[in-house]
Structure 1
């Protein structure tokens, strides 16, 4: 009877160990290469990234008027509110009928309280509300009857939330950068 002699010492790497490690590394690399297109397709498209910020000169908006600009495919209302509107919304800051209590100061930037910037989609079903309409002098969504005040806060109707205030800042004087 012949005995097989193991010439390798215990703990020493063998050729077989190297082949196992190399095959495992190749399998992991192939898996990453196969998964990369699936992961990469979830990134925003180049045209979307190009629209991630927009700048607008608010000096073009006359007092008491609003301009609708398009940002990321959504309407954005830029409204220059009158002194009477400001007085009315500040008086309503503590009103008991606010579904989502927010003060006007929380919805505007210091030094630019007259300028309101909100996304112009009703928070009920995404309709575009009508300017300077409704019971509170703000917007009215004719589709389902939601009433917003001049600060974009929901006051009456089925909409559950205030009009959304996007991330924005005033950069140079009257120029606002949204996004």
Structure 2
């Protein structure tokens, strides 16, 4: 008997990759397309998450306060609101400026000159937060007829802190001067706080 042996030859079909005219293979194009689609998808997911963390329009509107100070006469002060807190804007007289400059820095709890607390060229305009640095009460002295304390500036009725005409603490429990916020003059009569 004759036995026949069948031999099977396993041939592997190797798909020939087609190369285009510009030298880019089909597989490279698919990889580039997949990575691009993944990047666009990731951006579509991340952008709303990041943008929702941005402040809303009403918060941005309260981040600055613009104030026309043309109606303030020397010796007068006005109250404004900045970030839901009172701000005092005082137009100092020549006598108040001289009085503030005459104070020795050694006599002050927190030594600052009037020039340190005002902007150059506008030394007669003092802008301070209207919040006592002791426990956050609103001092008196900005409105006409209010108690201005022993030093002619501001007086906190809660615990008796006295501030001078430059908003510097002179007597009482407040540890520091009234805070001067960041502000700029956009014109000679308009300030932007914040």
**TM-score normalised by structure 1 residue count:** 0.74
Given candidates 116, 137, 146, the residue that maps to 1:127 is 137
Bigger shift: residues 70-79 or 151-160? 151-160
Count matched residues: 173
Match of 2:38 in 1: 27
Answering whether residue 192 of structure 2 is matched by residue 178 of structure 1, we say yes
Secondary structure of 1:168's partner? strand
1:51-102 Cα offsets, whole Å, 9 max, x none, are 53413133x2233221112234332211122333222211225234332x32
Answering whether residue 14 of structure 2 is matched by residue 5 of structure 1, we say yes
With over 3 angstroms needed to count, the CA separation of the structure-2 counterparts of 1:39 and 1:134, relative to structure 1, is farther
Given candidates 104, 117, 130, the residue that maps to 2:127 is 117
Tell me the C-alpha RMSD between the 2 structures.
3.0
Given candidates 164, 168, 172, the residue that maps to 2:184 is 168
**TM-score normalised by structure 2 residue count:** 0.69
- Output the CA distance in 2 between the equivalents of 1:23 and 1:146: 69
Q: CA deviation at 1:125?
A: 4.6
Structure with larger Rg: 2
- Output the CA distance in 2 between the equivalents of 1:27 and 1:128: 56
Bigger shift: residues 115-124 or 42-51? 42-51
Match of 2:81 in 1: 70
Match of 2:90 in 1: 79
- Output the CA distance in 2 between the equivalents of 1:161 and 1:142: 16
With over 3 angstroms needed to count, the CA separation of the structure-2 counterparts of 1:112 and 1:15, relative to structure 1, is same
- Output the CA distance in 1 between the equivalents of 2:77 and 2:51: 39
* Runs (5+) with no aligned partner, structure 2: 1-9, 142-146
Answering whether residue 166 of structure 2 is matched by residue 151 of structure 1, we say yes
With over 3 angstroms needed to count, the CA separation of the structure-2 counterparts of 1:19 and 1:123, relative to structure 1, is farther
